[in-house]
Structure 1
Amino acid sequence: MTDYRPDPRILELGDSFYDAVEPARFPAAIPRFLNRRAAAEVGLELDGAEWERHFQRFEPLPGNLERPLALRYHGHQFRHYNPDIGDGRGFLFAQLRDARGRLLDLGTKGSGQTPYSRFGDGRLTLKGAVREVLASEMLEALGVETSRTFALFETGEALQRNDEPSPTRSAVLTRLSHGHIRIGTFQRLAFFKDADGLRALTRYCLTHLYGEAGDAPVRLLELVCARTARLAASYLAAGFVHGVLNSDNINVTGESFDYGPWRFAPDWDEEFVAAYFDQGGLYAFGRQPEAIHWDVAQLAGALSLIAPPDALKAELDRWPALFQDALVAALLRRLGVGSRGEAEDLELVGALLAALRTRDVTIDRLFFDWHGGRDPGGAIYAGKPFRVLADKLKGAVSLGTDSELCSMPIDEVEAIWARIAEDDDWSAFEAKVAAIRRMGAAMTPPCASPGEAAKDAEPETL
């Protein structure tokens, strides 16, 4: 592990921000997904026994946290404030630097009970873990800033659940993330009127997550606004519906994480909902920007304890414009064409959205067929919105080519899981991860080296 750079900075905040916990002991350790690509990027060259020791039994990594830490936070859940949450089935296991110098966290899901488990068993179903791998891999390939599934072990327990057939198989999952500080982490401190804690957390985020000195809360909000606007835009460009955009699920780095009832919208239906329990459509596909903006407003409210409200409001008011700019950039990237200036870009994106809103084809099909600025023609694209799009694409500069059409419809997700559940057949899962990575490599901008593209296309092996 010559390039491994441990850096457990979370300890600077002190034990009022977390609780030391013990990982669960599991009866089995069956490796199902080991992200060697991500491991290499953080200097972790592990053999099979080391993967199990550190990411199933959670023995400390050298020079890192001596015990796992369950982080404390509050949050709004479907707009209702909840002070009784925190890391209930996961913990922060380690912190380390990547080759770019970014501070990254290794955190868990399904690793056992903590002081915040309430009535939960602290476990994760294998189906939930499989879905998280598929979501994080697909989003990464589509250019969304996302946590990455680092390791997945099946753990040999039979779990009882109300929302899927039980007993069901169990798993423990580790994520690699750019920070674990949520908007809800700030809300908890504001709830207790802990101004000193807010200043310390602001300093931590600016210094270690944004690489800036100081503890200026208005500057932190400015940065969070830009990152979360980009996150919201990237969700729409990917056709992705997170499902649960509560304020405890929004990372202050603007990185997407925690994939539960997610889905990819089959077409551009702004009312499409991922979670069966989101009966009011609060987190529907087209309402995700509004939801994320609302969550950022809760961060501004928390920071008002230590910063002028007018200055915070001024930053928050810039969010819609930041989102619009980010949406243009995200849609152009997904379409695989370069920018030609603000006016032309806006016209092109307007035509693209009009074509998508016809719902004549799926989101993935349209982006694949028109990728790089090509006009596929044909009867399906004979209508006026598509002819306008073709006109606006004339002279566009192509940025890469898709190797294959790769979608993630919910029926395919269920079919992949059915083969695992019924026959312990992981071939469809492994093939899907490989296909996703080939798509991601093909969409890599031309400036990336051929070696990087080839590496990105490699499937994981156990």
Structure 2
Amino acid sequence: MPPPPQAYRPSTALLGLGSAFWDPVAAADFPETRLRFRNDRAAAQVGLDGLDDAEWIAHFGRFAPLPNTLPQPLALRYHGHQFRNYNPDIGDGRGFTFAQLHDRSGRLMDLGTKGSGQTPYSRFGDGRLTLKGGVREILATEMLEALNVPTSRTLSLIETGEALDRGDEPSPTRAAVLVRLSHGHIRIGTFQRLAFERDEANMRRLVGYVLRQLYGEDGDDPIRLLHLVVGRTATLAARYMAAGFVHGVLNSDNINVTGESFDYGPWRFAPTWDPGFTAAYFDQQGLYAFGRQPEAIGWDVSQLAASLRLLVDSEPLIAALDGFGPAFQAALTEAILWRLGVTARDEASDRELARAVERTLRTTAAPLDRFFFDAFGGTLPAHYGDEWADLRAALDGYASRKPRDDAYWLGEPCAMLIDEVEAIWSRIAADDDWSALHAKVAAIRAMGDALR
């Protein structure tokens, strides 16, 4: 049965780009489909919360087409810089886009997969996702959403009954297929592929698609697009920092031009404000360390600018890139004030407060989540001693934007450090006990409600 028409608003906008942008593919035929997680809160935004479990599995485990949207799954084509090395041999290797829907605010959303089987870009991979990887993506997206970071949302996780061999975790391990709800899957690497191929006509077509479908603007002006992407990605970088989040793999094929974070692999939340903290064991040079994330995202955006030189001269592109630093600083100030739970005053005072937070957290090595929990509303408890004097002074005169009247403030701060992630997974792996995951998702959402 199709979802209610008043809530369900399908689209086929992606088809308007033309077949040069994708390859039609089919989902793997999984041995079984066991529903492990369904995000009805996200599903309600696109009219899918009315599906019963059997319908849910049919669409998100067997990939029966949803009504009036894409008739078959599409593996998107792109290139990208991976740890600053250009790779033209990538694309959707274990996922595809299989539906487009408008959410309640009118945004065009994609339903995309992870672990849905092999595609022309799988190379030597099996196109699968470990169940642990799916659990980790649920935790990352739920936590980031609660902390006001623009992120894809994990819509569904279905265990598929396969045993996978992996070199970086105990094997064989269980398999799953994940569905994410995303504001587009157009990456910086999508533009890089067209620049690499000198495909001016499709580059112009892609610019128009992103402006029209993802930003709600008319025209196909590459300069306007770059200004918009600079603003959105600078905001993303700032909110990563305020959340204490380390993505781990900020390659240009992992940066969505809407500025929405997605594709979570070796992510971690930093325990303290440690600029050198890394998430990925293979990032031995610290290229994507916590404190280098703004630089990494800015560098990726410069690759978008380089790609757009296929259409326009360099000078206005360089001018647009020059806006990344100021946009990041403004967004970081706003993000830190939001997490502190205070209302803005004036630009100079707000910036000094944000700097005082960064400086004091770095020098004291205080637990990030504990600090923001205690300081919410703008008042530091008495046990924060002399080393907090500058920050206490910077907070003087700031008003709380929301009272601490939710039950959340009667407990302990909600964090998501690696030991807890591993403990949640251990209970699933050892005893098929999902209670800790469901309890954590509930706790994260309670925190998000208290912060909003």
The two structures have a TM-score, normalised by structure 1, of 0.95
Give the secondary structure class of the aligned counterpart of 1:244: coil
Does the Cα contact within 8 Å between 1:156 and 1:170 map onto a contact in 2? yes
Does the Cα contact within 8 Å between 1:39 and 1:150 map onto a contact in 2? yes
Does the Cα contact within 8 Å between 1:269 and 1:359 map onto a contact in 2? no
Q: Which residue, 260, 280, 285 being the options, matches 2:285?
A: 280
1:416 alignment partner in structure 2: 424
1:383 alignment partner in structure 2: 386
2:127 alignment partner in structure 1: 122
1:437 alignment partner in structure 2: 445
Does the Cα contact within 8 Å between 1:183 and 1:250 map onto a contact in 2? yes
Does the Cα contact within 8 Å between 1:335 and 1:373 map onto a contact in 2? yes
1:149 alignment partner in structure 2: 154
Q: Which residue, 75, 94, 100 being the options, matches 2:105?
A: 100
The gaps in structure 2 that reach 5 residues or longer are: none
1:194 alignment partner in structure 2: 199
Moved over 6 A (4+): none
Does the Cα contact within 8 Å between 1:230 and 1:327 map onto a contact in 2? yes
2:401 alignment partner in structure 1: 399
CA distance, structure 1, for counterparts of residue 332 and residue 258 of structure 2 = 18
1:227 alignment partner in structure 2: 232
Give the secondary structure class of the aligned counterpart of 1:396: coil
User: Aligned pair 1:167/2:169, yes or no?
Assistant: no
1:262 alignment partner in structure 2: 267
1:286 Cα offset (Å):
0.1
1:300 alignment partner in structure 2: 305
Deviation sequence 1:103-129 (CA, Å, 0-9, x none): 000000000000000000000000000
Paired residues, what number? Answer: 441
For residues 286-325 of structure 1, what are the structure 2 equivalents within 5 Å?
Answer: 286-325=291-330
Does the Cα contact within 8 Å between 1:89 and 1:112 map onto a contact in 2? yes
Does the Cα contact within 8 Å between 2:343 and 2:399 map onto a contact in 1? yes
User: Aligned pair 1:49/2:51, yes or no?
Assistant: no
User: Aligned pair 1:37/2:41, yes or no?
Assistant: yes
CA distance, structure 1, for counterparts of residue 431 and residue 369 of structure 2 = 30
Q: Which residue, 116, 125, 136 being the options, matches 2:141?
A: 136
Amino acid at match of 1:434: A
1:360 Cα offset (Å):
3.6
CA distance, structure 1, for counterparts of residue 165 and residue 364 of structure 2 = 39
CA distance, structure 1, for counterparts of residue 91 and residue 62 of structure 2 = 22
Q: Which residue, 365, 370, 377 being the options, matches 1:365?
A: 370
Give the secondary structure class of the aligned counterpart of 2:377: helix
For residues 18-33 of structure 1, what are the structure 2 equivalents within 5 Å?
Answer: 18-33=22-37
Give the secondary structure class of the aligned counterpart of 2:181: strand
User: Aligned pair 1:243/2:248, yes or no?
Assistant: yes
For residues 334-373 of structure 1, what are the structure 2 equivalents within 5 Å?
Answer: 334-373=339-378
Deviation sequence 1:31-76 (CA, Å, 0-9, x none): 1110001111111121111100000000000001111000000000
Amino acid at match of 2:11: D
Does the Cα contact within 8 Å between 1:233 and 1:289 map onto a contact in 2? yes
CA distance, structure 2, for counterparts of residue 233 and residue 425 of structure 1 = 36
CA distance, structure 2, for counterparts of residue 279 and residue 360 of structure 1 = 22
Give the secondary structure class of the aligned counterpart of 1:164: coil
1:396 Cα offset (Å):
1.2
1:358 Cα offset (Å):
1.9
Deviation sequence 1:298-342 (CA, Å, 0-9, x none): 000000110121000000011101100000001100111110010
Amino acid at match of 1:413: V
Amino acid at match of 1:442: A
1:14 alignment partner in structure 2: 18
Identity of aligned residues (%): 66
CA-atom RMSD in angstroms: 0.8
Deviation sequence 1:253-300 (CA, Å, 0-9, x none): 000000000000010100001000000000000000000000000000
Amino acid at match of 2:98: F
Does the Cα contact within 8 Å between 2:273 and 2:365 map onto a contact in 1? no
1:383 Cα offset (Å):
2.5
Amino acid at match of 1:12: G
Does the Cα contact within 8 Å between 1:268 and 1:359 map onto a contact in 2? no
CA distance, structure 1, for counterparts of residue 192 and residue 136 of structure 2 = 29
CA distance, structure 2, for counterparts of residue 183 and residue 22 of structure 1 = 25
Give the secondary structure class of the aligned counterpart of 1:150: strand
Give the secondary structure class of the aligned counterpart of 1:70: strand
Give the secondary structure class of the aligned counterpart of 1:373: coil
1:449 alignment partner in structure 2: none
Deviates more, 1:432-441 or 1:42-51: 42-51
CA distance, structure 2, for counterparts of residue 193 and residue 295 of structure 1 = 19
1:359 Cα offset (Å):
3.6
CA distance, structure 2, for counterparts of residue 179 and residue 170 of structure 1 = 26
Give the secondary structure class of the aligned counterpart of 2:11: coil
Amino acid at match of 1:14: G
